[in-house]
Chains A and B, each alone.
Chain A
Amino acid sequence: DVKVTQSSRYLVKRTGEKVFLECVQDMDHENMFWYRQDPGLGLRLIYFSYDVKMKEKGDIPEGYSVSREKKERFSLILESASTNQTSMYLCASQSGYEQYFGPGTRLTVT
């Protein structure tokens, strides 16, 4: 079974803090994705990576950056957290066209 893990299930941060969300997959997949999920908006793609050190902007990259130094790990970085970044963040890895999701991190920025 594919396993995608995320470093935290719940996270509370203050406005202006730098926030790191970590995602690790154990299936040697090349493609990995970061989404945010908000009620009524579904899943929106923030960034994705198709190889180590390769990244591409998704639909809502503003305020976020990513890092992929190793194939199994894909990090989402909020350089200066703001209250409008309070959301559920989902990571996925991909084999073929099928995506496998982690359990999500619910981030609250106060």
Chain B
Amino acid sequence: AQSVTQPDIHITVSEGASLELRCNYSYGATPYLFWYVQSPGQGLQLLLKYFSGDTLVQGIKGFEAEFKRSQSSFNLRKPSVHWSDAAEYFCAVSNFGNEKLTFGTGTRLTIIP
């Protein structure tokens, strides 16, 4: 069965600093990978996705993620965070022929001035 691990429950970052959120997956076949963001009291919004091709993918709000097959990772990065980036971030995995997503437990991001 596929699984997703987000090892950091909570991360605090200063505004303007860089950010990296970790995501590791376990799946035998080529994964489809996603990052979603959930602002307080809201549903989830897709930040970016990877299906194939270039392993560095760009998303909305200035986020990017890199797929590293050798490390089974899909880490999310942003060079300079803004106070509005404070939210919870979820990594998710699926694969060809499987419409269901498996979500990680999420990482809560706090931004300090």
Contact = CB atoms under 8 A, between A and B. Distances in A.
Contacts of B106: 42
B56 interface: no
Please tell me the size bucket of the interface on A. 20 to 34
A48 interface: yes
A99 B99 CA distance: 9
Contacts, number: 48
A78 interface: no
Residue of B9, B45, B100 ringed by the most chain A CB atoms within 10 A: B100
Nearest to A9: B41
Chain B interface, >50% SS class: strand
Interface string A32-49: 010000001111110010
B112 interface: no
Contacts of A40: 9, 105
A41 B90 CA distance: 11
Interface string B53-97: 000000000000000000000000000000000000010001000
A4 B104 CA distance: 22
Contacts of B99: 31, 48, 50, 94, 97
A43 B43 contact: no
Given A42-B103, A50-B99, A94-B99, A102 B46 contact: no
Nearest to A102: B43
Interface of B: 9, 32, 34, 36, 41-46, 49, 51, 90, 94, 99-101, 103-106
Task: Pick the 9 closest A-B CB pairs, nearest first.
Answer: A101-B43, A42-B105, A43-B103, A101-B44, A42-B103, A103-B43, A102-B43, A42-B106, A97-B32
24 contacts: A40-B9, A42-B90, A42-B105, A42-B106, A43-B44, A43-B90, A43-B103, A48-B100, A50-B99, A58-B100, A90-B43, A90-B44, A92-B44, A97-B32, A97-B94, A98-B34, A98-B46, A98-B49, A101-B36, A101-B43, A101-B44, A103-B42, A103-B43, A104-B43
